Chains A and B, each alone.
Chain A
Amino acid sequence: MYETIYHRPSSVDEAAALFAKGSEAKYLSGGHTLIPVMKQRLASPSDVIDLGKIKELIGIDVSVDAVTIKAATTHYDVAMNGPAQKAIPALAHLASLIGDPAVRHRGTIGGSIANNDPAADYPSAVLALGATVKTNKRSISADDFFKGLFTTALADGEIITQVSFPIPAKAGYSKFPHPASRFALTGVFVVKTKSGDVRVAATGASQSGVMRVPAIEAALKANWSAGALDSVKISADGLMSDLHGSSDYRANLIKVMAQRAVTAAG
């Protein structure tokens, strides 16, 4: 790790001000992405601004319409939150599948979606549920937020403050973990909204990060059942291919995980 200056602001505004002052500042939340790359000397921020202790960034609100998770809330807290479990069980289930207990106790939703790792779990839920990402500057809809591998709509210095998930009629998440990293080799989040719309997002599969899967959405809209996907063909074009999963294998996983997610959603 290179030398850096650590800050612990107590408000979002103070954090943003510190960021503006630093020459190459970085926000730190759970640190489970940032710290490893700093230790490998692949990142060398001048200033590290810790959002993890800012009270206004921690907590979960559940209303009749939405589950709102503040940015520095840990995966563990989401997985274990009773009202959230009840409102969107698939979301709490997804959080419970991230990494291992140590990761879940440190890693946060804000860090995960700001990082937008193409194999991270949360982006699939954000996209499929049509969530709204709120920052210190604006609100961004899920469809506009993810911009490809490790890229988002966030401007430099912009801070995610919370993510608001509309409560769906049905939702399910099925993840096939990468054997080594246990991120998603492919994970599929299926949603039937209260208005009857169907949204399906796959993570871990595409070369351009989390994506909607229109073929599956169409089939499920016609018939919300695992069997409805039997005849759906997923193209391997544009999917990732690596040591642990060729693109045709990932194409298969998109379908199989979608079927299992539908079964789980009921």
Chain B
Amino acid sequence: MGVEGIGASVVRKEDRRFITGKGRYVDDIKLQGMTYAQFVRSPHAHAKVKSIDTAAAMKMPGVVGVLTGKEIVDDKVGNLICGWAITSKDGSPMKMGAWPAMAPETVRFVGQAVAVVIAETKNQARDAAEAVVVNYEELPAAADIRAAIKPGAPQLHPEAPGNVIYDWTIGEEAATDAAFKSAANVVSLDITNNRLVPNAMEPRAAIAEYNEAEEHFTLYTTSQNPHVARLVLSAFYNIAPEHKLRVVAPDVGGGFGSKIFIYPEEMVALWASKKVRRPVKWTGDRSEAFLTDAHGRDHLTKAEMAFDKDNKVTALRVKTYANLGAYMSLFSSSVPTYLYATLLSGQYNIPNIFAEVISVYTNTVPVDAYRGAGRPEASFVVERLMETAARQLKVDPGELRRKNFITQFPHQTPVIMAYDVGDFGASLDAAMKAIDYAGFPARKAKAKSEGKLRGIGLSCYIEACGIAPSKAVGSLGAGVGLWESAEVRVNPVGTIEILTGSHSHGQGHETTFAQLVADRLGIPISQVQIVHGDTDKVQFGMGTYGSRSAAVGMSAIFKAMEKVEAKAKKIAAHQLEASEGDIVIENGEFKVTGTDKSIALPMVALAAYTAHNLPDGMEPGLKEGAFYDPTNFTFPAGAYICELEVDSGTGKTSFVNFVAADDFGRLINPMIVEGQVHGGLAQGIGQALLEGAVYDSSGQLVTASFMDYTMPRADDLPSFKLNHTTTLCPGNPLGVKGCGEAGAIGASAAVINAITDAIGNNKLEMPATPDRVWHAIHG
């Protein structure tokens, strides 16, 4: 592996700039003549916009322009799109209501923009925004799923009667029903998967610049996928053609999915920059982030699991209502369907699965992918059922899981996914050993004697990552292919630039991607520069989400490296007068095996660019590109076990221990993997114990700041004990599976299983706040 190659815990290259305050985020960028945008947002969850009076605002100091929803519609800027078409069980297409970037007629959630003020300074823009007079006629609101599906509920969009976007099913209903009829035991649960606010550290921001002479736009924005942003902005929103729009996503401070989507604010900034002929900057504040970033999760589910007399699972039946908010965000439709129901088999051999998912509109901000996206919800359903079943059937929860584990691979589940490889028993063994599972009953008894309620909870999760084989997702309704691209440029002096379509917003690509190159060529990572996040520099790529950058992004680099190496070997062989087949690459040198003849990489590179002495017919230069389209999803899986104590006086949960045993395939940089797992676990534990976005019945966001929305803090979390078991992914050349979302997917069930074990009562919803736990104990 070498000191900086694959498998080495190399310190992150990017951290020097981040921890010394030298990162360059969108808000750090200042352009000549830049103006500032402030949005005028609806205070109502549902209302008609009767009139907007901008006259007073226009006269305020420093105001450059005040633009409204009517103008953006008049200018034929397209409505926001949803990129994944879902078909209902009756064959009808999903029912999508129009989402203009600023509302010309109707607002449907608190915080929706109706107008924008552009001014010389941010404060002037804020002052003038307060002077815009909007006359609303309030309408009744449906603020959650139950309110939206009630007969006579307020209607959000005429296109979607009853607020139902689609009623979609997967699996065999008749066979599943039959299996339930003949079951020896049935376990059932009603589950609320709580709504979450992503809360990336850096709020969203955009700067748009229009060059009149060139008719060219530049957009600096907080994006996880700048090329997708450019494609959508040009192909659907009619603002600028692709070749006249450069999108730059510089340093981005976290995304967790929320920065995949193209939001109204960046559309408006682009459009406005041409209207006012000045660069326009918008930087969201934390309140705007709470109100307008796409939220995550928000399911209501009824789930049942059937067992035969030997405690083997025979069937799973799930009915889920998913809240998609007031409008369909870019990938919202796919999250509760293809990213959720396809994972309902968990780690288990379940012959029959049937799931129905009904997605509904509510007067809340749109809901879309958030770390894990559908898979945490699926894993929570399966692992809560398993734990509940073990208690009901009076068997050890570990044993019940083991009895039902899939052990033969590949394994085709009844819900599309074909698991390629795994060893679920090995992960569970490792986790049990790490937490001394066998010793738990004695620890519980001891705690009891001290008046404490102690519990243990398991969660054996699986996820589908490496999103995704383009053909497969295309057949399921995706509007895009999900391959990745790479270009390897060897400079004339032998240093290397990797241009990747992936985008790092905290993941550490500048380090891990360089490690791959270092590994293959035997050069230090300091010789490698990773270039990403600029559509003018990098070839079209699909960006980063769904734990895809190692499995898909690095595989593209791998393929491009193979091409570069093949050409370089030809040049080296020519220079060394040896046979190409005898050339090996070691420590940055091209060597003729079995001899002391060698030529260093810089000399090979120089030869490629001077082109004075290349093999006949060879083109000069040393630069190759590749596109990699995966053949399957990857399937990271693992076992999490949580041991905790509950204070029966206050309902407060304290961790005793939390262990993880993950199988991510090959690890490129174990330290970075650990960081990813820690962050994921924090978010999974956050969902279980702390976080929950709550709207009141009128559609006001009650948890609109950190005073009410509990973000996990370091002292809320245990010190994690991480372990790895490894089965190499056969689907990609590196054998990697992805590690970015696992913690968020697996942790919440482990925590809730442990609390319900401790209190001996299964009636507990997330977030399991002290208040809720205390009520679960005391009624």
- Asked if B702 CB lies within 8 Å of chain A CBs, one says yes
CB-based contact B706/A180 at 8 Å:
yes
* B779 to chain A: closest residue by CB: A248
CB-based contact A181/B708 at 8 Å:
yes
CB-based contact A256/B708 at 8 Å:
no
Within 8 A of B (CB), among A63-100: none
CB-based contact A246/B707 at 8 Å:
no
Contacts of A244 in B (CB 8 A): 708, 769, 771
* B702 to chain A: closest residue by CB: A243
CB-based contact A243/B774 at 8 Å:
no
CB-based contact A249/B774 at 8 Å:
yes
CB-based contact B126/A179 at 8 Å:
no
A180: which of B123, B708, B778 is its contact (CB, 8 Å)?
Answer: B708
- Asked if B365 CB lies within 8 Å of chain A CBs, one says no
CB-based contact B650/A179 at 8 Å:
no
CB-based contact B126/A176 at 8 Å:
no
CB-based contact B769/A176 at 8 Å:
no
Within 8 A of B (CB), among A1-23: 1-2
A179: which of B123, B130, B769 is its contact (CB, 8 Å)?
Answer: B769
Query: How many Å lie between the Cα of A48 and that of B127 in the bound state?
Result: 20
Knowing A176-B650, A180-B710, say if A252 contacts B769 (CB, 8 Å).
Answer: no
CB-based contact B771/A180 at 8 Å:
no
Query: How many Å lie between the Cα of A259 and that of B649 in the bound state?
Result: 10
User: Nearest chain A CB to B429's CB is how many angstroms away?
Assistant: 35
A181: which of B690, B707, B769, B771 is its contact (CB, 8 Å)?
Answer: B707
Contacts of B287 in A (CB 8 A): 40
* A39 to chain B: closest residue by CB: B285
Contacts of A249 in B (CB 8 A): 651, 770-771, 774-775
Contacts of A157 in B (CB 8 A): none
Query: How many Å lie between the Cα of A246 and that of B778 in the bound state?
Result: 13
Contacts of B711 in A (CB 8 A): 180
Knowing A179-B690, A249-B774, A252-B774, say if A243 contacts B708 (CB, 8 Å).
Answer: yes
CB-based contact A253/B650 at 8 Å:
yes
Query: How many Å lie between the Cα of A36 and that of B754 in the bound state?
Result: 39
Contacts of A243 in B (CB 8 A): 692, 694, 702-703, 708
- Asked if A245 CB lies within 8 Å of chain B CBs, one says yes
- Asked if B263 CB lies within 8 Å of chain A CBs, one says no
- Asked if B709 CB lies within 8 Å of chain A CBs, one says yes
Residue interface bits A221-260, CB-to-B below 8 A is 1, else 0? 0000000000000000000000111100100110010010
Give the A interface residue count (CB, 8 A): 17
Inter-chain residue pair count (beta carbon < 8 A): 47
Interface size class of B (residues with CB under 8 A): 20 to 34
CB-based contact B690/A256 at 8 Å:
no
Query: How many Å lie between the Cα of A245 and that of B708 in the bound state?
Result: 12
Contacts of A180 in B (CB 8 A): 690, 703, 706-711
Contacts of A181 in B (CB 8 A): 706-708
User: Nearest chain A CB to B776's CB is how many angstroms away?
Assistant: 12
Query: How many Å lie between the Cα of A222 and that of B586 in the bound state?
Result: 84
* B694 to chain A: closest residue by CB: A243
Residue interface bits B649-691, CB-to-A below 8 A is 1, else 0? 1111000000000000000000000000000000000000010
Contacts of A245 in B (CB 8 A): 771
Contacts of A252 in B (CB 8 A): 649-650, 774, 778
CB-based contact A176/B770 at 8 Å:
yes
Contacts of A253 in B (CB 8 A): 650
User: Nearest chain B CB to A163's CB is how many angstroms away?
Assistant: 26
* A250 to chain B: closest residue by CB: B771
Residue interface bits B110-151, CB-to-A below 8 A is 1, else 0? 000000000000010011001000000000000000000000
Contacts of A1 in B (CB 8 A): 123
Query: How many Å lie between the Cα of A15 and that of B462 in the bound state?
Result: 64
B650: which of A2, A41, A256 is its contact (CB, 8 Å)?
Answer: A256
Residue interface bits A129-155, CB-to-B below 8 A is 1, else 0? 000000000000000000000000000
Residue interface bits B694-718, CB-to-A below 8 A is 1, else 0? 1000000011001111110000000
Query: How many Å lie between the Cα of A173 and that of B457 in the bound state?
Result: 34
CB-based contact B650/A246 at 8 Å:
no
Contacts of A176 in B (CB 8 A): 650, 652, 770
Query: How many Å lie between the Cα of A103 and that of B667 in the bound state?
Result: 41
Please list 17 pairs of residues, one from A and one from B, whose beta carbons are closer than 8 Å in the complex, sorted by A's number. Answer: A41-B130, A176-B652, A176-B770, A179-B690, A179-B710, A180-B707, A180-B708, A180-B710, A181-B706, A245-B771, A246-B775, A249-B770, A249-B774, A249-B775, A252-B649, A252-B774, A259-B649
Taking A252-B649, A256-B649 as given, write out 15 further A-B residue pairs in contact, using a Cβ cutoff of 8 Å, ordered by the A residue number. Answer: A40-B287, A176-B652, A176-B770, A180-B690, A180-B703, A180-B706, A180-B707, A180-B709, A180-B710, A180-B711, A243-B692, A249-B651, A249-B775, A253-B650, A256-B650
Task: Write the residues of chain A forming the contact surface with B, with a CB cutoff of 8 angstroms.
Answer: 1-2, 40-41, 176, 179-181, 243-246, 249, 252-253, 256, 259
